[in-house]
Amino acid sequence: MEAEADSVVHEEERDPESNSLNQPLLKRNRTLSTSPLALLLAFLVGLLTGLIATVINLAIENIAGYKLLAIVGFIKEERYLSGIAYFTCVNFLLTLSAAVLCVFFAPTAAGPGIPEIKAYLNGVDTPNMFGATTLPVKIVGSIGAVSAGLDLGKEGPLVHIASCIASLLAQGGPDNYRLKWHWLCYFNNDRDHRDIITCGSSSGVCAAFRAPVGGILFALEEVATWWRSALLWRTFCSMAVVVVVLRAFIEICNSGKCGLFGTGGLIIFDVLRLYNLINQKGKFHKLLLALGVSLFTSVCQYCLPFLAQCRPCDPSFPEACPTNDRAGNFKQFNCPAGHYNDLATLLLTTNDDAVRNIFSSNTSSEFHHTSILIFFVLYCILGLITFGIAVPSGLFLPIILMGSGYGRLLGMLMGSYTNLDQGLFAVLGAASLMSGSMRMTVSVCVIFLELTNNLLLLPITMIVLLIAKTVGDSFNPSIYEIILELKGLPFLDANPEPWMRNLTVAELADAKPPVITLCGIEKVSRIVDVLKNTSHNAFPVVDEDVPVPGTVATGATELHGLILRAHLVQALKKKWFLTEKRRTEEWEVREKFNWVELSERELKIEQVAVTRQEMEMYVDLHPLTNTTPYTVVESMSVAKAMVLFRQVGLRHMLIVPKYQGAGVPAVVGILTRQDLRAYNILTAFPHLASHKEQGKHN
Amino acid sequence: MEAEADSVVHEEERDPESNSLNQPLLKRNRTLSTSPLALLLAFLVGLLTGLIATVINLAIENIAGYKLLAIVGFIKEERYLSGIAYFTCVNFLLTLSAAVLCVFFAPTAAGPGIPEIKAYLNGVDTPNMFGATTLPVKIVGSIGAVSAGLDLGKEGPLVHIASCIASLLAQGGPDNYRLKWHWLCYFNNDRDHRDIITCGSSSGVCAAFRAPVGGILFALEEVATWWRSALLWRTFCSMAVVVVVLRAFIEICNSGKCGLFGTGGLIIFDVLRLYNLINQKGKFHKLLLALGVSLFTSVCQYCLPFLAQCRPCDPSFPEACPTNDRAGNFKQFNCPAGHYNDLATLLLTTNDDAVRNIFSSNTSSEFHHTSILIFFVLYCILGLITFGIAVPSGLFLPIILMGSGYGRLLGMLMGSYTNLDQGLFAVLGAASLMSGSMRMTVSVCVIFLELTNNLLLLPITMIVLLIAKTVGDSFNPSIYEIILELKGLPFLDANPEPWMRNLTVAELADAKPPVITLCGIEKVSRIVDVLKNTSHNAFPVVDEDVPVPGTVATGATELHGLILRAHLVQALKKKWFLTEKRRTEEWEVREKFNWVELSERELKIEQVAVTRQEMEMYVDLHPLTNTTPYTVVESMSVAKAMVLFRQVGLRHMLIVPKYQGAGVPAVVGILTRQDLRAYNILTAFPHLASHKEQGKHN
């Protein structure tokens, strides 16, 4: 669980209504973000995603194409050893380039990136996930890794790439060279930033599968934690642009070869653990691991086809046979004229073409069952060892490859009992493995429909997905959840655990160190002290000894609101000190601060120098305070508090007392995401774990 | 706004965590509802919806079919007057049966029902909406109204029918004859009830269009206010069952005639107003109105085809020509042999066949443009006058009919400039009108794809939908929102208005009468008094003069929670009185109450008799109190309070003070849905309206 501390560094409340200072600016904000500006951004995200996806497709098609054509030449001249040397070397170099980029320049670009996006949309920020270096590394790395013929795909990476584009567009460029255009402020709050990244992730799926509606559903079902109807509309805009761009380029290419994509790995749990051990040993080991996998893949793909028997071409085949082209359904490879090698058709090709070949219908005699078996076993192994190496890698295509192999094999075994097409079996096998591993139903359904363009398959696909998900659910969580857990990202589940209803937030708060509150007008020395000695990201602001308007009560305490660490640091840095304990006027506030500065995240308390004289001065925290934090009463159950936390998308939640009277504190505690995670609660309250077990057994 | 008071009678908090009494039972509840039981219910909903949809389809096909075949006979024998008499009479009787049922037995069965479902899922309960009489009336009424050839459809009604099935299943039968099976308790809370009705509404769309994914998306985009991933999965199960049932029956029918359905009305605003006036005059007027519309429809459909010129059959036509069958693309009607009447093809047929004919491709010379123009104008008028009469009516099909006419007309005008098919123009016209009136995008997109089974149309459909929605949004809200407003249902919008951020909940509460709180151990006379003199559905329970644990403070007040009117009435009815002011033991509570009784809704305070002696006794409210109500601090903005209210799906929200001290009340106010509606706030704070205007002009 060490990674946890790392991944939540950037917790910060950027709520559009944070504090009184921002009101005039932010009033415009909310109006604008539901306006053409947000739509424009969605259009831009779609446009750029479409363009970049096209570039990636073209690059991969060309690199892999020329590589495979060269191999065909070697085989034709019976120079088998030169062939394998060339094949291995090219793949090795491509993997090297991808791995070097990922290891040295942008470690977050390795892997699919989808779990981190899911966590981000749930409220967990992974540092550098959407950075300016991540984007080009992921693009070039994906091209390299996929062209190298590794058992991984570009779907996951495309989702990540599109999210990076969305994030960079919304914040006006990379962190240090940000454009400070005024309208960009409108998106500089958590909600809009999350929305635009959701938009980006759908665009990625859409670009990967050319499945626009599937893309929307993917974002809805798998990625997004919060969803609102305005988002559906914006996502729809992005999809429309992506699909038009892709279609336009296909028309330009005039080749129809911009279709099916994706790779990754499945039974990856233990391998990942091993890889984590290796990866922790340093950058050199990471590189070695990636290159080792590349070598193994190349050798298998090149050598295994020699095991297959050559099969004679049947004149009834709908396509040319044999072929030496890059794609082609009947590769000649090492066979005599008039014969083809069925395993070479599946292995010595791009992953997309392999899927297309194995999905092809009316070809029941094309593949020998041992070839399909070799294909299936090989991709099980490759899927297992490829995921987790330091290159951008998607999970979709490895799962589709594995599933299609298993489906087609089943179709062959059932061949004598049914007249269903083997290609259909392959499609259903792939769909069931997708649903069984990722637990998506609607989106897989639509993605497959959009892939096969055959709506008559809908009922049978739905049944298959139903069974697959049900079986999967009875064994373990979905693959993304497993990855989230492995990476230690504090993801908040949709449903609270049953035992959370027997615990109140007050009990939870009691198990923590007492809450640290600040006064409305606080001494500088205390602020510095608090900031240096705690790592909290927000503090309640409480005014003491105030009169209560409309009543005779005096000497009451007032909960003024919540102040963020970043704003406190800014106040110190700007030296916004008062020599006496007084409230500031509004014009003073406006003079001192502007909103762009306040939203800067990076400043640390250690970087701010405060003289001893200044230590005795005061800061008026009122104008910097978010006066409308969400609160719960101390008797609230943890379960309901968690629902609130997740539904409204909070970072901090204040606990107020249920008692009213002299001497009662205004705030009882403060809860963050970490406090509400089941694992952490069970650590503090071990007796609840037994409840949990009981619940299971009942 | 009078209807408002009516429609919210049943506001009641049936939160699964309501009070301590229910804890042991409800612990199982939460666990179970995400379990096979909920899935089983989803399966049942799907199964019944599929069966009933098939019955409705078969009934309509047969009634309308025999009717139309008889007409063909009359025309053939040139007995034109007998023809119109027969046609008008049959339609009149069918309309009569539908209208009588709706007017006298279940007024809520009239209309599509979708706006009310949408309101229910938003938290507004319309009485008798999902009752046991509504279901059969809606089924028979739909069959009658659609067979009568009125310009309305069965899609909306099917959605309502499916929701009724879902509701009845979840509550174990009709209100008065409910099965008291134990497991049914698990669904007797608002959240699960809402979920299962969402499931039902998707099943309805799925059954209407045979578009399972479209059904899910419809529920997501249009109907549901809250959505969670478990719901997607359950809905998916229902869809799978529906689609399999429908497919199975189609195989059995072996006719392929169970396809496209739906009708309603569009520019209905003013007509509806007029109709409201007529409908208010009583049941007889309602009947007359429905029958008048039926007569007008019959006469138009029968007489207008005589205006069209007979067109010669072209041997290049892909189908038989002319035909005298019920369906057929080239109706002979009154024409000589070898000729067909193109307008009869569109008018003297079921609505579904009309849509199929006008969508048909490669038939550019089939229809004369005046015929299409007559068709379009007629269905504009019929759509306008049909919606609002007292029969079940859907909106989808009238919109599709109107849109397809307009699209095909446009295709004819553009014919010389483009080589796009006129059938495609018709499809796009229908899609654009759907999107322009209902503002749905993704679901319309998928529904049309599933209707046309041509994924290549996806990009152009998306562009058309984009434009239609954008144009629509710049003029008025969606048709369902207009209906919601007309019916005065207190629907909470997704986004708070900008001016709500300048108002605190305390200001809102100040404008209302002071909140009425009860003591933890309250005198019977006071309870009776409060229940009789207010119509509130929940009251805060506050204990006074209590010690604060862990502090030296004494004499504090404690916010114990929220108690429901229904539970107070039950306590009085059960005569659960104490002679002295003391707290009850837990065993006493268990003995007195069981959960099924507590969840009974109907009891009124007037039905409970309390003697004068009992008036002086006490009731311990603690065990009946929901101890974990959601709260906001008084300084919270109305905008954020509304987000919380809607996101978490509340009925009541308590306002707690931001001050802490002697003399401060424990509760400042209580907010309900009505308090948070923009219209009601603007009535209380007229000056905010000017803000609103300003915001618009800026």
Please report the DSSP string for A473-492 in residue order. HTT---HHHHHHHHTT--PP
Chain-chain contact of A240 with B636 (C-beta, under 8 angstroms): no
Closest residue of chain A to B560, computed from CA coordinates: A658
- Would you say residue A579 has pLDDT above 70? yes
- B632's tokens: 């906001």
- Would you say residue B6 has pLDDT above 60? no
Chain-chain contact of B30 with A659 (C-beta, under 8 angstroms): no
pLDDT at B260: 32
pLDDT at A328: 66
Q: Give the Cα separation of B95 and B390 in Å (integer).
A: 9
Q: Which residues contact A362 (CB under 8 A, 6 or more apart)?
A: A318, A421, A423
Contact B223, B215 (CB under 8 A): no
B 388-447 residues inside an 8 A Cβ radius of A: 441-442, 445-446
Q: How far is CA A404 from the centre of its chain?
A: 25
- Would you say residue B453 has pLDDT above 80? no
Q: Tokens 């295994």: give the residue.
A: A304
- B353's tokens: 């066949």
Give the pLDDT mean for B63-78.
82
- Would you say residue B182 has pLDDT above 60? no
pLDDT at A73: 83
Separate counts of helices (H) and strands (E) for chain A = 30, 11
CB of B280 less than 8 A from some CB of A: no
Helix/strand/coil percent split, chain A, to 5? 60, 10, 30
Rounded to two decimals, the ipTM of the complex is 0.70
- Would you say residue A10 has pLDDT above 60? no
Give the pLDDT mean for B388-398.
78
- B37's tokens: 């039981």
B 442-481 residues inside an 8 A Cβ radius of A: 442, 445-446, 449-450, 453, 455-456, 458-459, 462-463, 465-466, 469
pLDDT at A29: 39
Q: How confident is the model at residue A602 (pLDDT cuts 50, 70, 90)?
A: low
From the list A561, A636, A664, which residue is nearest B556 (CB)?
A664
Mapped to the 3 state alphabet, what secondary structure does A293-354 carry?
HHHHHHHHHHHHHHHCCEEECCCCCCCCCCECCCCCCCECCCCCCCEEEHHHHHHCCCHHHH
Higher pLDDT, B154 or B26: B154
From the list B466, B560, B635, which residue is nearest A237 (CB)?
B466
pLDDT at B350: 74
Q: Is A128 exposed, middle or buried (0-12, 13-18, 19+ CB in 10 A)?
A: middle
Q: What is the side-by-side strand order in the sheet with B631-633?
A: B631-633, B652-656, B669-672
* Chain B residues touching A30 at Cβ < 8 A: 498, 501
Give the pLDDT mean for A142-148.
87
Beta strands at A618-620 and A652-656: parallel, antiparallel or unpaired: unpaired
- Would you say residue B675 has pLDDT above 90? no
* Chain B residues touching A199 at Cβ < 8 A: none
Chain-chain contact of A213 with B247 (C-beta, under 8 angstroms): no
B473: closest CA of chain A, how far (Å):
11
Q: Give the Cα separation of B448 and B217 in Å (integer).
A: 12
- A308's tokens: 């297959």
Choose from B213, B445, B461 for mutation: most chain A CBs within 10 A.
B213
pLDDT at A376: 92
- Would you say residue A21 has pLDDT above 60? no
* Chain B residues touching A631 at Cβ < 8 A: 631-633, 656
Give the pLDDT mean for A30-42.
65
* Chain A residues touching B236 at Cβ < 8 A: 441-442, 445, 462, 465-466
Choose from A213, A227, A245, A491 for mutation: most chain B CBs within 10 A.
A213
Give the pLDDT mean for B398-409.
90
Residue A459 has, within 13 A of its CA and on its CB side, a CA count of 12
How would you classify residue B326: left for phi > 0, otherwise alpha for psi between -120 and 50, otherwise beta?
alpha
Q: Give the Cα separation of B239 and A466 in Å (integer).
A: 11
Give the amino acid at B462: M
Give the pLDDT mean for B336-347.
85
Q: How confident is the model at residue B495 (pLDDT cuts 50, 70, 90)?
A: confident
pLDDT at B15: 43
Strand-pairing partners, residue B481, are none
Choose from A660, A667, A693, A697 for mutation: most chain B CBs within 10 A.
A660
Phi, psi of A656 (to 5 degrees): -105, 155
A 313-372 residues inside an 8 A Cβ radius of B: none
Chain-chain contact of A661 with B548 (C-beta, under 8 angstroms): yes
pLDDT at B187: 64
Contact pairs from chain A to chain B, CB under 8 Å: 260
Choose from B658, B668, B688 for mutation: most chain A CBs within 10 A.
B658
CB of A695 less than 8 A from some CB of B: yes
Q: Poorest-confidence range of A28-32, B168-172, B392-396?
A: A28-32
Distances (CA, A) of B424 to B193, B210, B377: 41, 20, 20
Which DSSP state fits B354? Answer: H
- Would you say residue B672 has pLDDT above 80? yes
**Tens of pLDDT along A479-514?**
878 877 777 777 777 678 888 888 889 888 888 888
Give the pLDDT mean for B43-58.
90
- Would you say residue A143 has pLDDT above 60? yes
Q: Which residues contact A558 (CB under 8 A, 6 or more apart)?
A: A542, A543, A544, A546, A666, B658, B659, B660
A 489-528 residues inside an 8 A Cβ radius of B: 494-495, 498, 501-502
CB of B190 less than 8 A from some CB of A: no
Contact A505, A525 (CB under 8 A): no
Helices (H), ranges, A360-394: 369-386
Give the amino acid at A385: I
- Per DSSP, the residues of A510-576 read HTSPPPP-EESEEEHHHHHHHHHH---SEEEEEEEEEPPTTSS--SEEEEEEEEEHHHHHHHHHTT-
Higher pLDDT, B411 or B679: B411
Q: Is A89 exposed, middle or buried (0-12, 13-18, 19+ CB in 10 A)?
A: exposed
Q: Tokens 């908090």: give the residue.
A: B13
Q: Give the Cα separation of A29 and A187 in Å (integer).
A: 8
Phi, psi of A255 (to 5 degrees): -125, -15
Give the pLDDT mean for A623-638.
87
Phi, psi of A268 (to 5 degrees): -95, 0
CB of B244 less than 8 A from some CB of A: yes
pTM greater than the 0.95 cutoff: no
> Percentage of chain B with pLDDT > 90?
9
pLDDT at A13: 37
pLDDT at A270: 41
Number of Cβ atoms within 10 Å of the Cβ of A648: 17
Q: Tokens 């396509």: give the residue.
A: A319
Chain-chain contact of B631 with A631 (C-beta, under 8 angstroms): yes
Q: Is A74 exposed, middle or buried (0-12, 13-18, 19+ CB in 10 A)?
A: middle
CB of A216 less than 8 A from some CB of B: yes
Q: Give the Cα separation of B13 and B565 in Å (integer).
A: 10
> Percentage of chain B with pLDDT > 70?
81
Sign of CA dihedral B438, B442, B447, B451: positive
Q: Which residues contact B484 (CB under 8 A, 6 or more apart)?
A: B115, B118, B119, B491
Number of Cβ atoms within 10 Å of the Cβ of B388: 25
pLDDT at A373: 92
pLDDT at B183: 59
Chain-chain contact of B546 with A659 (C-beta, under 8 angstroms): yes
Q: How far is CA B268 from the centre of its chain?
A: 18
Q: To the nearest whole number, what is the mean pLDDT of chain A?
A: 78
Chain-chain contact of B660 with A31 (C-beta, under 8 angstroms): no
- Would you say residue B361 has pLDDT above 60? yes
**Tens of pLDDT along B582-625?**
777 766 666 666 555 555 556 777 878 888 888 889 988 888 88
Number of Cβ atoms within 10 Å of the Cβ of B431: 30
Which stretch, A467-471, B138-142, B268-272, has highest mean pLDDT?
B138-142
Q: Give the Cα separation of A411 and A430 in Å (integer).
A: 13
Of A667, A689, A673, whose CA–CA distance to A120 is shortest?
A: A673
Number of Cβ atoms within 10 Å of the Cβ of A483: 23
Which DSSP state fits A125? Answer: P
Give the pLDDT mean for B292-303.
86
From the list A233, A462, A664, which residue is nearest B551 (CB)?
A664
Q: How confident is the model at residue B162 (pLDDT cuts 50, 70, 90)?
A: very high
* Chain B residues touching A240 at Cβ < 8 A: 459, 462-463, 466
The domains found in chain B, sorted by start residue, are 269-486 (no CATH), 498-697 (3.10.580.10)
- Would you say residue A549 has pLDDT above 60? yes
Q: Which residues contact A591 (CB under 8 A, 6 or more apart)?
A: none
Chain-chain contact of B662 with A661 (C-beta, under 8 angstroms): yes
**Tens of pLDDT along B234-243?**
888 888 888 8
**Tens of pLDDT along B197-209?**
888 998 988 888 7
Of A367, A369, A348, whose CA–CA distance to A358 is shortest?
A: A367
Choose from A658, A688, A694, A698 for mutation: most chain B CBs within 10 A.
A658
Higher pLDDT, B3 or B189: B189
CB of A547 less than 8 A from some CB of B: no
Higher pLDDT, A448 or B179: A448
> Mapping DSSP to helix (H, G, I), strand (E, B) and coil, where does residue A496 land?
coil
pLDDT at B585: 72
Chain-chain contact of A660 with B664 (C-beta, under 8 angstroms): yes
> Percentage of chain A with pLDDT > 90?
9
Chain-chain contact of A661 with B27 (C-beta, under 8 angstroms): no
Contact A427, A458 (CB under 8 A): no
- Would you say residue A24 has pLDDT above 50? no
Q: Poorest-confidence range of A528-542, B169-183, B346-360, B389-403?
A: B169-183
**Tens of pLDDT along B367-379?**
888 899 999 999 9
- A52's tokens: 């970049």
Contact A421, A361 (CB under 8 A): yes
Higher pLDDT, B690 or A562: A562
